[in-house]
Amino acid sequence: MAKVIGPVGIREPALRKSAFIVAIVALCALYSSAQEARPTESQVEAVYLYNFGKFVTWPDRASQRELFGICILGKDPFGEVLDATVNGESVGGKQTKVQRLSNVEEAGSCSILFISAAEEKRLPTILAVAQRMNTLTVSDIPDFAERGGIIGLVKQKDRVRFEVNRKAAEQSHLVLSSELLKVALRVVGK
């Protein structure tokens, strides 16, 4: 009985096997030196959010906003990353300001509105309100541009690209630069 349950027979092979695992870990660590650190999806998306402002012209009405509001509607996927990216920057001569909203009706001061994936169900309402406010809508909700959003962020394997809905932009009276359209993975609503 004691022989069956005693760990005596386990200990030494366990050490040998640990050594084997350590060897694998070491090999992989060496392999690592050839690689460099990559940014996270949130970091890239945050930079996109801020960058899009440079390629869009807002109608005069919206230009009266004092600050360049970058807003997140619903559950915030960025956390500190967005603030760190945007703080102290200005777009079109206006100081940027990050705001977090729980209701789209609060988006009056937002030049750019990022719609959290958690809001997917309310998308039609959100887009209708945002259009009235001449706000650039951005989201990583699947088929966002197809579904009437202006810029949809799309994850392609390990890269983040974007799709544009030109018609949705026109309806919001936003003018998209040709460079933005050129780089877009896909342009819908031509």
Kindly state the smallest distance separating residue 89's Cβ from other proteins, in Å: 8
Per DSSP (E only), the strands in 64-129 are 68-73, 90-91, 94-101, 110-115
**Residues in the site for other proteins, rule: CB under 8 A?**
1-2, 4-8, 10-11, 13-15, 17-18, 21-22, 24-26, 28-33, 35-44, 47-48, 50-51, 55, 74, 77, 79-80, 84-85, 89, 102-103, 118-119, 121-125, 158-162, 179-180, 183, 185
Helix (H, G, I), strand (E, B) or coil at 57: strand
- DSSP single-letter state for residue 76: -
Residues 3, 5, 8, 13: is their CA dihedral positive or negative?
positive
Kindly state the smallest distance separating residue 49's Cβ from other proteins, in Å: 11
Contact 163, 184 (CB under 8 A): yes
CA distance 80 to 164: 27
Kindly state the smallest distance separating residue 64's Cβ from other proteins, in Å: 27
Closer to other proteins by CB, 31 or 64: give it: 31
Residues 168, 108, 47, 59: is their CA dihedral positive or negative?
positive
Kindly state the smallest distance separating residue 118's Cβ from other proteins, in Å: 8
Closer to other proteins by CB, 61 or 186: give it: 186
Kindly state the smallest distance separating residue 51's Cβ from other proteins, in Å: 6
Closer to other proteins by CB, 12 or 60: give it: 12
Kindly state the smallest distance separating residue 100's Cβ from other proteins, in Å: 9
Closer to other proteins by CB, 65 or 100: give it: 100
Closer to other proteins by CB, 59 or 142: give it: 142
CA distance 142 to 181: 19
Residues 94, 48, 132, 190: is their CA dihedral positive or negative?
positive
Contact 54, 93 (CB under 8 A): no
Closer to other proteins by CB, 15 or 61: give it: 15
